[in-house]
Structure 1
Amino acid sequence: MPSPQLLVGRRSVIGNVYAITMICRDRRPIFEDPGHAHIAMQVLDALDHQGLTTSFAWVVMPDHLHWLVQLRGKSLGYCVQRFKGRSSFLINRLREREGALWHPGYYDHAIRSEASLRKQARYILGNPVRAGLATRLGEYPYGWCRWPLDNEAG
């Protein structure tokens, strides 16, 4: 959940598209482990299959996650909490540990046009390129996009 100051004037609207960033607690590189990254991707996919969201793009970076998503069945806060809760439970079970996996809160930005949607998807998929984890779009194994995008880092 975002801080109370960020909630002033904020509305979560079913049908709207949002670019969301969630950060791991203390910026720990939890997703350097491929098993943990795969769990995060499976939870994103499950939210789509449950009818809560429609994902357009996402990338699981070593210590954070970017998600471009349309709300379908519940509020933004609910969907983010559902993702964080389920991914934390499954990753902690795999690690045989307990405790917070995610930093409290998240950053979101509403997308208002089709052009902005494609531009944001390209930007999200370009994160591993800009971080030196890949040399071109589509090379990084923990990213996905609904549309084919060109190979520039965006």
Structure 2
Amino acid sequence: MRKKPHSRDLRKGRYSEQNRIYHVPTSTEDKRPLFFDFHLGRVVVQSLRFLHERGDVVSLAFVVMPDHLHWLFQLTGERPLEKVIHSLKRHTSNVINQHIVAAGETVWQEGYFDRALRAEDDVRVVARYIAFNPLRAGLCQHIGAYPLWDAIWLQNEKSM
């Protein structure tokens, strides 16, 4: 049996700071490739956009991979990091469980990692790393062919 991360251990040292930029990768439960199903992946994309439009975050880049998500955002609203991620996971789990045969199953692993970017970090480099995950994984030949990503700086590069 694969050892699962302990959610409380992942929270050690976590600090939520308004206006801080975070890179948050999180995986599906047991790395289940749910998002090979384009429609389930779109549920995640729509939820990310909702959190952006509601003002909780400024979404800078994301990619929904078959079994995980990478999200780069600036925390802008009143809600702390853990509440934003909890909201994303809760909503997407509810919607996804309405569409899959095994309704009620856990969609996301319990914890998540987060990395607060420092002032000297190049946000665009992190965004490129996130957006080009499908290429490195061999899911597409060029990033424009992968439908479940976006980055505010890379709009002109989608045809690469």
TM exceeding 0.5: yes
Match in the other structure for 1:133: 139
Listed as ranges, the matches of 1:16-95 within 5 Å are 16-73=20-77, 74-95=79-100
Name the SS for the 1:138 alignment partner: helix
Secondary structure of the corresponding residue to residue 114 of structure 2 = strand
Q: Helix, strand or coil: the match of 1:133?
A: coil
**Alignment of 1:143 onto 2:132:** no
Q: 1:138 to 1:113 in 2, by over 3 A?
A: farther
Looking at structure 2, the residues matched to 133 and 113 of structure 1 have their Cα atoms a distance apart, in angstroms, of 32
Report the TM-score, using the length of structure 1 for normalisation: 0.90
Alignment length (residue pairs): 152
Residues in 1 aligned to 2:134 and 2:120: alpha-carbon distance in whole angstroms: 23
Gaps of 5+ in 2: 1-5
Separation in 1, partners of 2:85, 2:7: 14
- TM-superposed CA distance for 1:4, in Å, is 2.7
**Identical-residue share of aligned pairs (%):** 38
Alpha-carbon offset, residue 138 of structure 1: 3.1
Please name the residue that 2:105 is paired with.
99
State the TM-score, normalized to the length of structure 2: 0.87
Q: Which 5+ residue runs of structure 1 have no aligned equivalent? A: none
